[in-house]
Structure 1
Amino acid sequence: MPVPHVRPLLFASGSEAGRINPLLTIAAELARGDGAPLVFASTDDRRADIEALSPALPKAIRFASLGEPDARHLPRNWDEAIFTAMTGPSRGRAAADYLGRVIDAEYLQGMYDRALKVLDEVDPALIVVDQDAPYVMDAALARGIPYVMSVPIPVSVVYAERVPADFPKAFSGLPRKMTPAQLEENARFERELGEALTASGKLGEFFKARLAGGFRNPACVSSAYADEAVSVLGFSVFGVEYEFPDVPANVHMIGAVVPEPSGERTALTGWLDDHDSIVYIGFGTIMRPTEGQVDGIVQAVRRLPGEHHVLWRLPASHQHLLPPDLPANLRIESWLPSQTEVLAHPHVKVFFTHGGGNAVSEASYFGKPMLVMPFWMDCHDWAARVVDCGAGLAIRYAPELDPTEIAERLTNLLTDERFASRAGYWRDRQRAAGGVKAAVEIIEHHVATQATPAARG
């Protein structure tokens, strides 16, 4: 008797680390099981990373190309003038600068055409797609293929136009409970953002082009894509993320999606073992520290009490900003094989971070208090949530940093047991939500209902 064809499960994401990393973790976990064949679609700059997963797994993950990445849409390729505009003091105008750069109907059309080609070649039963890949969701809707949406940003951002008027606007960095002055700031943020986007004319041009293209969701409204998804995976828990009224039934808050540490020992492991109290500094893959920031942080490290050491992952491209005489309690690494291995170590007591979704998830998963210096966009929102849930403190992003402020806040996080207690509470909540295993169960449930041959509508 012939073996029935089993349609694959397709993962799809852009190449930015904050977007693709959770999906790589979930795909790797699925590859340890006996389910459907796995295919991962991304741009060609991620081919090596995806193909490198397979040798260590029982089942291969096949790479599917979405073509060469467009450098104009990769933040890591933007120049300093663009970064300065997007990290300025007005968060509304900064958000408008960012959105104005990524709103590009021609780019989305090209990526949509590539996604259609992949879908037609792979013929997946189900797609697991990052929220920031609307071109894949457009293709899934066009072909009638169900999809699961992954959301590494605060899930309330997906439903931004549906939350109450007193809810902090997406990317504003405001707390859930606002003072009258903050409510006014919230309204001003929305007004500045709207005015800047309208003045550019890009929104109108974008909508007209998408409408002419016949897309079901011409404005690329995230909540509309979420409504079409069979499930929406939020990589946090309510209590860290702000809960909002009428959360849709297809939203699953599964907690942090973090790979388990391998336990492999390295030279760095020995250093971590030798120091009882360590602050780890990591600012992600996009943020570019300024000379004033580097100097402020080094001076802050000098002011920490002697029993505290600092590990800073600072890319080699920025190490020329370091002063020649580093404090004895500071260790610089240009690259780490695994940030999770560092955060899992019991001697790491505090994480100084830019506030990206992956960073906040990983710190929460391992119960580490955070000092957040939010870089841009959703980083501001995560910073507010970290402070509100009691798991950390925040400082404002600025080209020049006050070393006294940094040292005082780090010392507070290191010595006030309330921060460690709250971080431990959220660690337990994040793990109880299921994380990777919960994602696998939800995905396998949907695959089971779709993987057998069937006519598509």
Structure 2
Amino acid sequence: MAPKRKLVFITNREHGASNVHLAVSYEILVNHPDVEIHFVSFPSLEKHVRAVSDQARKQVPAKANFIPIIFHSLPGTPITEAIEARFKTAFYKTMMHPPGFSGALQSYKLMGNFATGWPGEMHLQIYAATAGFIKDINPLLVVLDPVFVPGVEACRDLKTKPVMLSPNAMKDILAQQQPRGQMLWKYPAIASGFQYPLPLYLIPVNIYLIFRLILSLVLSKSLSAKNAYMKKNGHNPAIPFTAPANDDTVTWLVPSLPEIDLPLAFIPKNAIPCGPIIMEFAPVADIDAELASWLARRPTVLINLGTLYKFDEDAAKLMLEAIEYLLEKIKDVQVLWKLSAEREEDAWVGEMRKLDRGDGRIRIEKWISADIAAVLASDTVVLAVHHGGASSYHEAICAGKPHIILPMWVDLYDFATRVEYLGIGLWPTKASAPSWNPTELGAAMVRIVEDSEESRAMRRRAEELKELCRKNQDLLVQQLKALIANPEAFSSQGTEIIQLSRQAAVALEGPFETIQRLAYSALPLVTARVAQEHNVFQTLIANKDKPTSVAILAGKTKISPVILDILLDYLSTQYMVEEVSPQHYKATKLSNVLVAPLFIDGVLHFHDNCLPAFNALNYSLAHPTDSRTPFEIGHNSPADFYTYLESHPVQGGAFHRFMEAQFASLPTWLDVLPFDSEYAASTTSESPIFVDVGGGNGQQCVALQKRYPALQGRIILQDRPAVLEKAITPDSVERMPYDYLTEQPVKGARAYYFRQIFHNNNDETCHRILAAHLPALSPSSVILIDDKVLPDEKPATGSVEYTAGLSLAMLSMFNALERREGQWRKLLADAGLEIREIKHFTDFGDSVIVAGRKM
């Protein structure tokens, strides 16, 4: 039984950081129940992790071996609680500051304290626990919150390359990698709330702020003291907020898209824009039917300032004034307000939540049981008023709702800038943040809710971004399904798609899947041979689309039902047959392909002739003094390949038919070389014009005569007597027994033609062949070599599997190879010949080399 693939998510406990980890773990649980998921965080996150497992369990088939997420508790406290302990005040109060130059500087003075995070002793405990969990779990992959510094350090010290998963926007992660120092002059400094694009007069101020931010971290006394403590205890501290986005060996999953962020000039390959990552949610009606009924009554404004911010009485009264302003101006609108209070026991809290205007148009809740994303997705919600957190921003984006942002600290101001730049919302508190002026806020809500050209434009743009995100989330799967349904539509990119899909499959598979793929790599060929030999495909095709039972197939094929069931089970994994229902199968497109004569011969040839040679390749390379080819070793035969075929007519017939048929529909050397004008001018009936050396059944002689029926001169087919007996040439073609390692008896011919001779031989034998022909060459003679000429430089997409595999086949069958252009030039030059031209006639390197004596 295959061992479980293990993934571990390591994240801070705060919802802003952990929500994306929870959402991704849910998707993996539902779609890949064979993956064992571990979660490393602080105890207060465990109930949320358990809720994800419970929700996923409902989506997984009952027969599946479902394993809930395994939670591992870290010692210490979440980082926000650690900062609260240091400042002895609520985290959000410590963080709050106004926007602008002075407000940004105010936040920077505390940035070192925020970066310090946990006290040194607690940090080391968290680090040790994290590293221990990673070692004990031994996961295939670590998914890491890049702000969780102990996790960054643990992965670094364990030499584990994590996948970074952050809720932050693309600009926040990738600004440092933008060219020409754009992070200094193009993007607003964090916490400033400057507009985008930056006006010229703000660029010097912006640059100054960024350097002040860097200095605040470098000169932080609390951070320096903590680092000194950790170094004293033998620990190498990582620099906070500097997880290696510029390390291209570390993949970043970015829950954003270029279209929903500030413009970026450069997105590195290791950063994958996934689009917003939102936890799958149930409709509001499934969770709270009464709330769903209330929402359906009229257009609704949702106010939710996140989980960190807590209202005091003054702030709540200002919000209520803004709501009253909206409700007075627009009669057919209602407001759902999630009010989290600083002190729930205060009398004003209960009184305000019970507020009733008499028309039921305001609803104030401590907690909303349905997901906020589900509420936003309700058709009647027309506006999201939020604080500008990454999760709130992305939830509103996915719901296609305009925003009003009330930012209060650091990166929240960036999201306020985003919505105004993108034309999907307003930031009405520029002059009053981190608080709000109720008249300005109320007026802004009216501007978006009322029917005006401005509000329609915002709603239209928000819907466009929603649709963009929806398409992006399903894009790859949809495209793959479309390709399967209509492959012809993608034919122009077929080669690249095949290569990329194979790369993707390898990238996604785990180590055990890799060894399975390698261990069973011969089985497609072996099972296809069995199915062809025993008429499995033919029987299924005869029944057309009607499923055929294993019992009926067993009677037709004379294979026992037990063995046949095993065979068909494997064939279905390779799409050679389709299992319609248990023990009932039907033919597929591939079934029909595999009964064509070309593919019957091809499978037989590669299975019977080549597979033993492939299996002997390692032995041959390990015993260089053994002069036999891998083919001779694998078949335990003293005869070379062609001699062997003479005594094995079934395999020989399949090989010759396959070679002839596979090239029948492809271009040939005659399509690129004007033989009549270049090599057959001024000849007589006695002039030898074409000598097909080792020409087999004479197919090329026939093709030449068919192309140029008026040719004057002798056309000669040379090969071993046993081969010539099976030639298909007319009487006008001379048949001459000949061994191409002996001197060529036909002197002065216009062209000596070698088709796929040299790739069957090593350089030493090739030199002997060429030396045997040099005496026959006249000044007007050429040697035509019809063979593969591979480029010296591999294409940007990498080697083509067909040509790379063919080179190994030549090595296994003949101790030879497919040659690159440089190798051809050296081979012929060493033999006293020069290449006059090379003409390619297929995309797989098939070419004709025109060579003559060195001048």
TM class by shorter-chain length?
0.7 to 0.9
CA offset digits 1:192-216 (Å, max 9, x no partner):
4345445542344455556667777
Structure 1, residues 59-85: CA drift from partner, whole Å, max 9, x if none?
A: 311112223425764567775476445
Cα distance in 2 for residues equivalent to 1:444 and 1:387: 41
Distance in 1, Cα, partners of 2:476 & 2:40? 22
Q: Are residues 214 and 388 of structure 1, via their aligned partners in 2, closer, same or farther at CA, if it must alter by over 3 Å? A: farther
Q: Contact 2:170–2:258 at 8 Å: present in 1 too?
A: no
Provide the residue aligned with 1:266 in structure 2: 289
- 1:405 — aligned with what? 440
Sort the Cα spacing of 1:278 and 1:74 in 2 relative to 1 into closer, same or farther, 3 A.
Answer: farther
| Distance in 1 between residues matched to 2:12 and 2:239, nearest whole Å | 19
Once residues 96 and 436 of structure 1 are traced to their aligned partners in structure 2, the CA distance between those partners, rounded to angstroms, is: 44
Establish whether residue 364 from structure 1 lines up as the match of residue 397 from structure 2: yes
Q: Distance in 2 between matches of 1:345 and 1:44?
A: 33
Partner of 1:306: 331
Q: Shift of residue 450 of structure 1?
A: 4.9
After TM superposition, give the deviation of residue 260 of structure 1 in Å.
Answer: 3.3
After TM superposition, the structure 1 = structure 2 runs for residues 358-397 of structure 1, keeping only pairs within 5 Å, are 358-396=391-429
Aligned positions of 1:221-232 closer than 5 A = 222-224=242-244, 227=247, 230-232=250-252
Amino acid at match of 2:316: V
Q: 1:340 to 1:333 in 2, by over 3 A?
A: same
Aligned-partner Cα distance in 1 for 2:211–2:511: 44
Amino acid at match of 1:92: L
TM-score by length of 1: 0.87
Asked if residue 294 in structure 1 is aligned to residue 302 in structure 2, the reply is no
Tell me the distance in 1 between the aligned counterparts of 2:510 and 2:150: 24
Larger mean CA deviation between 257-266 and 119-128 belongs to 257-266
Structure 1 residue 351: deviation in Å? 0.4
Query: Deviations for 1:281-327, whole angstroms, at most 9, x for unmatched residues?
Result: 00101012343321121111112211111000112545755675654
Q: Percentage identity across aligned positions?
A: 21
Q: Which residue of 1 aligns with 2:576?
A: none
Q: Name the CA distance, whole Å, in 1 between partners of 2:464 and 2:83.
A: 34
Q: Deviations over 1:37-95 (max 9, x none)?
A: 11111111112221233233133111122234257645677754764453123123214
In structure 1, the residue matched to 2:52 is 53
**Residues 94-131 of structure 1: CA distance to partner in whole angstroms, max 9, x if unpaired?**
14414423414724332211111111111101011112
- How many residues are treated as equivalent by the alignment? 449
Q: Let me know the Cα RMSD of the aligned residues.
A: 3.2
Contact kept? 1:363, 1:370, Cα under 8 Å: yes
Corresponding residue for residue 614 of structure 2: none
Offset at residue 400 of structure 1 (A): 4.8
**In terms of mean alpha carbon deviation, does 346-355 or 23-32 score higher?**
23-32
Q: 1:303 to 1:13 in 2, by over 3 A?
A: same
Q: What is the CA–CA distance in structure 2 between the aligned matches of 1:443 and 1:344, rounded to whole Å? A: 33
Amino acid at match of 1:274: R
Q: Which residue of 2 aligns with 1:4?
A: 2
Rounded Cα–Cα distance in structure 2 between residues aligned with 1:444 and 1:126: 16
Q: In 1, distance between residues paired with 2:321 and 2:374?
A: 27
Match of 1:189 in 2: 209
State which drifts further: 78-87 or 10-19: 78-87
Match of 1:91 among 75, 97, 104: 104
Distance 1:146 1:117, change over 3 A: same
Q: Assess, with a 3 A threshold, how the Cα gap between structure 1 residues 447 and 216 changes in structure 2: closer, same or farther.
A: farther
Contact 2:274 2:472 in 1 (8 A): yes
* 1:327-348 residue CA offsets vs partner (Å, 9 max, x unmatched): 4521101101211121010100
Unmatched 5+ residue regions in structure 2? 61-65, 478-500, 516-855
* 2:447 partner letter: N
Question: Which secondary structure does the structure 2 equivalent of 1:41 belong to?
Answer: strand
Give the Cα separation in 2 of the matches to 1:401 and 1:321.
20
Q: Pick closer, same or farther for the CA change 1:38–1:140 going to 2, 3 Å.
A: same
Q: Which residue of 2 aligns with 1:248?
A: 268
Partner residue, 2:381: 348
Q: Does the 8 Å contact 2:404/2:445 carry over to 1?
A: yes
Letter in 2 for 1:61: I
Q: Which amino acid in 2 is paired with 1:121? A: D
User: Which residue of 2 is the match for residue 430 of structure 1?
Assistant: 469
Shift of 1:405: 0.5
Task: Indicate the residue corresponding to 1:42 in structure 2.
Answer: 41
The residue identity in structure 1 corresponding to 2:470 is: R
Amino acid at match of 1:401: W
- Please give the alpha-carbon distance, in whole angstroms, between the structure 2 residues aligned to 1:269 and 1:293: 28
The CA distance in 2 between the partners of 1:257 and 1:142, in whole Å, is 29
Contact 1:207–1:219 at 8 Å: present in 2 too?
Answer: no
Structure 1 residues 287 and 75, CA, compared in 2 at 3 Å: closer, same or farther?
Answer: farther
C-alpha distance in structure 2 between counterparts of 1:314 and 1:295, whole Å: 11
State whether structure 2 residue 160 is matched by structure 1 residue 145. Answer: yes
Q: Is the 8 A contact 2:83 2:91 kept in 1?
A: no
Is 1:63 matched up with 2:86?
no
Q: CA deviation at 1:220?
A: 3.8
- Whether contact under 8 Å (2:26, 2:279) holds in the other structure is no
1:88 maps to amino acid: H
Letter in 2 for 1:113: A
Query: Which structure has the larger Rg over C-alpha atoms?
Result: 2
Q: What SS is found at the alignment partner of 1:8? A: strand
TM-score norm. by structure 2 comes to: 0.49
**Aligned pair 1:448/2:509, yes or no?**
yes
Check conservation: 1:147, 1:231, Cα contact below 8 A. yes
Q: Please report how far the alpha carbon of residue 445 of structure 1 lies from its aligned counterpart in structure 2 after TM superposition.
A: 7.2
- The code of the aligned residue for 1:19 comes to A
Assess, with a 3 A threshold, how the Cα gap between structure 1 residues 158 and 17 changes in structure 2: closer, same or farther: same
Q: Name the stretch that deviates more: 168-177 or 298-307.
A: 168-177
SS at match of 1:239: helix
Query: CA, structure 1 residues 252+392, in 2 after alignment: closer, same or farther (shift >3 Å)?
Result: same
Aligned to 2:758: none
Task: Report what 1:120 is aligned to.
Answer: 135
Structure 2 residue matching 1:118: 3-state secondary structure: helix
Which residue is equivalent to 2:18?
Answer: 20
Give the match for residue 129 of structure 1.
144
What is the one-letter code of the residue matched to 1:332? I
CA–CA separation in structure 2 for the residues paired with 1:241 and 1:303: 32
Would the alpha carbon gap of residues 15 and 192 (structure 1) be closer, same or farther in structure 2, given more than 3 Å must change? same
CA distance in 1, matches of 2:20, 2:172: 18
Q: Distance in 1 between matches of 2:511 and 2:54?
A: 28
Moved more, 153-162 or 301-310: 153-162
Deviation (angstroms), 1:432: 2.3
Q: Label 1:25 to 1:290 Cα distance change in 2 as closer, same or farther (>3 A).
A: same
> Are 1:335 and 2:367 an aligned pair?
yes
The whole-number CA distance in structure 2 between the counterparts of 1:229 and 1:122 is 22
* Offset of residue 356 of structure 1: 0.3
Q: Which amino acid aligns with 2:269?
A: A
Q: What is the distance in 2 between the residues matched to 1:208 and 1:64?
A: 29
Provide the rounded CA distance (Å) in 1 between the counterparts of 2:475 and 2:242.
Answer: 23
What secondary structure sits across from 1:310 in the alignment? strand
**Aligned ranges 1:167-206 → 2 under 5 Å:** 167-206=187-226
Cα offsets for 1:400-444 (capped at 9, x unmatched) = 532111111111111221110111111112222218999xx9999
SS at match of 1:352: strand
Name whichever of 192-201 and 391-400 sits farther off: 192-201
Distance of aligned partners of 1:74 and 1:443 in 2 relative to their CA distance in 1, 3 Å threshold: farther
State the Cα deviation string for residues 165-218 of structure 1 (Å, max 9, x = none).
212223333333111333244234325434544554234445555666777773
Q: By how many angstroms is 1:31 displaced?
A: 0.6
Report how far residue 152 of structure 1 moved.
0.7
